[in-house]
Chain A
Amino acid sequence: MKNFFLAAYLAIKEVIRNRGRFLMVALVIALITLLVLFIAALGEGLSNANRQYVANLDAQLIVFLEKSDFSITASRLETNTVKSVRRVEGVADAGPIYTSNTEIVSLEEPLKISMLGVEADRPGMPALLEGRYFRGGEAREAVMDKSVAERSNLKIGDEIRVRSTQGTEDQFYNLKIVGLVDKQAYFFQPTIFVPAATWELVRPQSESDLNSDTPFPNIIAVKLDDPTQIEQVKLRLLSQVANIEVADIETTINNIPGYTAQQGTVQTQGFFTLLIGVLVIGGFFQIQILQKVPQIGVLKAIGSSNAVVGVSAVLQIIIVTAIGVGIGALLTFLFSLGLPSAIPLEFNGTRSIFAIILLLLIGPLGGLVSIIYAVRIEPLKALRLG
């Protein structure tokens, strides 16, 4: 304990007396922190924008068309598949989900959105934040993601006008907002939910699709009686329902087009930023230790133990890293206040804390070589007495 206090005394005194030099390093660490936290937030934001709807589904399994490779856009199921799925033992409920994109044109700026056809009160329809569910049939009603409503200054009771290219012509439809849901972005776009029949009417269609008025769901969300029985129910579904493949939510998310590649890219950026941090901090402290060789020689010659010298070096690195990470976190917070909402940054507590812990660890990790070097300095050689 005496050694620790002695080491802390030396470390703190040196940092305070050379605060200009250490502040420079702390600022470099702050910039690395800023970059790492932004990359983490960007990763979270992009990830959420891509998968939020699927991740928040009240379901444990997703049914796809056979050989669609778990791709939502490639999957197109028969209408009666839903009934077959509901009959399988262990399935509590199943809801079809129809996906397409459209555009709200009644706003000042046209807004591209994901339009999902679902059945109210079935898996696939998220819980309401306020308002009510749409009626069935071809009701011209929609439940809207709160983020769209806030961004567009819309409220329950307002009407939106959507444009849809059907065949070779643009068609316009009015939909009344009857309810709001929260955090339901899908495929980088905010979402509106409409009844299946309305979806079939409103969605963009090719010339050949116009002859049919039967909506075909892309996927079916399956809620289980017992969520722990995923594998058993999955096998039952595969054996009892024809022409399907089944995935859990995680597999479905990982197969959203571009999701894995995008997250891999963001994580690689984060990794290399941390690596640069390790090298920068390691380089600085190594140079610093080389400059301090005679001083460490004196300390050891007058009776300081290796523990004092080593712990002092570690504490110094921890102090400077902590100050740098603190400044970086503060800067990140301040910058995040002024960034436009179009940038998909989302500061998730767990991811940010994980990034901060990693950043705090890169200091001692980067300085490891210099710490070992400091401990191994021989006073005789350091003082050139030999």
Chain B
Amino acid sequence: MSNIALEVRDLVKTFQLDGSTINAVDQVSFQVNSGEFVALVGPSGSGKTTLLSILAALLTPTSGQVLIDGQDLAKMNEKQRVKLRREKIGFTFQSNNLIPFLTAKENVEFMLRLNGDLNHAGRIRSGELLARLGLGDRLNNLPAQMSGGQQQRVAIARALIHQPAVVLADEPTASLDTERAFQVVETFAHLIHENNRAGVIVTHDLRMCQYVDRVLQMQDGKLVREYTSQKEIMELAQAIH
């Protein structure tokens, strides 16, 4: 049974630049269900990252609504937004994802520690999740001792370990070679489905769309097209070739 984990209604974000108003996000509405993996694609400057920042409660929209697990971000103060990020959102970034002085396992466990949920079971779960991501022999390695792909997989584990409602990923494959990039997104998609989380990935690499359930295409701040069928998505993914 699917339920709405993320809902965006008429979202607008404007910036003032040199006296003119720029609509970075313009009347965007969509929903993401639990267990659904959605890609946000579009050219550079289309508003993907701004939209993701608003979804992550890091940026306040000019107007419109964002509901995460039924909670309206607009009605929250900063303290409540920090709490929401901690409990309901999992996040991976392009780079500098991990805390450099914590090992792979400690980085993952940190999310549980942050939520006051780190116990024996949590420690075991962290180790198992990392092992499933092929990092069983890297648990005690520091980020500097791991490759970019391995670091991204640790970040994915960290984004999922506390079982958030929504997992957001900002260009997680930007710094990876093609093979590693496919591996990371495939694993990500698999875990999103398996754990029944709502996932949103921002990517400029259309080939990665083959692993998602739906693609939202943005241009000039607007959602211009939605690809829902596997046929359309595969065509989009292969269009790059």
Contact = CB atoms under 8 A, between A and B. Distances in A.
A9 B83 contact: no
B122 to A, nearest CB: 15
A380 B53 contact: yes
Interface in A297-311: 297-305
B158 A17 contact: no
Identify the 10 closest CB pairs spanning chains A and B, nearest first: A303-B86, A294-B96, A17-B101, A303-B85, A14-B101, A380-B58, A385-B53, A305-B82, A13-B101, A385-B49
B99 A303 contact: no
B93 A383 contact: yes
A317 B227 CA distance: 52
B106 interface: yes
B43 interface: no
Given A6-B114, A303-B82, A386-B53, A298 B102 contact: no
23 contacts: A10-B99, A13-B102, A17-B101, A18-B101, A298-B93, A299-B99, A300-B82, A301-B56, A301-B85, A302-B85, A303-B82, A303-B87, A303-B114, A304-B114, A379-B58, A380-B59, A385-B49, A385-B52, A385-B53, A385-B58, A385-B93, A386-B49, A386-B50
Contacts of B56: 301
Contacts of B102: 13, 17
B132 interface: no
B97 interface: yes
A119 B170 CA distance: 91
Nearest to A304: B114
Contacts of B45: none
Interface string A50-65: 0000000000000000
B116 interface: yes
A302 B86 contact: yes
B111 interface: yes
B110 to A, nearest CB: 8
Given A304-B114, A380-B53, A385-B52, A298 B85 contact: no
A385 B170 contact: yes
Contacts of B52: 385
Interface residues of A, number: 24
Interface string B110-141: 11011110000000000000000000000000
Interface of B: 49-50, 52-53, 56, 58-59, 79, 82-83, 85-87, 89, 91, 93, 96-102, 106, 110-111, 113-116, 142, 158, 170
Interface string A273-308: 000000000000000000000110111111111000
B50 A303 contact: no
A380 B142 CA distance: 25
Interface string A374-386: 0000011001011
A323 B102 CA distance: 22
Contacts of A386: 49-50, 53, 59
A354 to B, nearest CB: 35
Contacts of A305: 79, 82
Contacts of B100: 295
A2 B91 contact: no
Interface of A: 2, 6, 9-10, 13-14, 17-18, 294-295, 297-305, 379-380, 383, 385-386
A383 B96 contact: yes
Contacts of A18: 101
Nearest to B101: A17
A259 to B, nearest CB: 52
Given A17-B101, A385-B170, A301 B114 contact: no
Given A6-B113, A299-B99, A13 B170 contact: no
A295 B96 contact: yes
Interface centre among A10, A14, A383 (most CB of B within 10 A): A383
Contacts of B106: 13
Between A294, A301, A305, the greatest number of chain B beta carbons within 10 A of the residue's beta carbon is seen for: A301
Nearest to A5: B113
Contacts of B86: 302-304
Contact of B116 (A2, A297, A302, A380): A2
A300 B52 CA distance: 16
A298 B170 CA distance: 13
Nearest to A292: B100
A14 B59 CA distance: 29
B114 A302 contact: yes
Contacts of B113: 6, 9
Contacts of B53: 380, 385-386
Contacts of A383: 93, 96
A123 to B, nearest CB: 66
Nearest to B170: A385
Nearest to B90: A302
A301 B99 CA distance: 12
A278 to B, nearest CB: 26
A297 B56 CA distance: 13
B15 to A, nearest CB: 9
B96 A301 contact: no
Contacts of A301: 56, 58, 85, 91, 93
A74 B183 CA distance: 93
Nearest to B52: A385
Given A302-B91, A385-B53, A386-B50, 4 more contacts: A6-B113, A13-B101, A17-B102, A303-B86
A123 B101 CA distance: 67
Contacts of A299: 99
Given A6-B113, A13-B106, A305-B82, A298 B58 contact: no
B219 to A, nearest CB: 20
A193 B140 CA distance: 74
Contacts of A300: 82
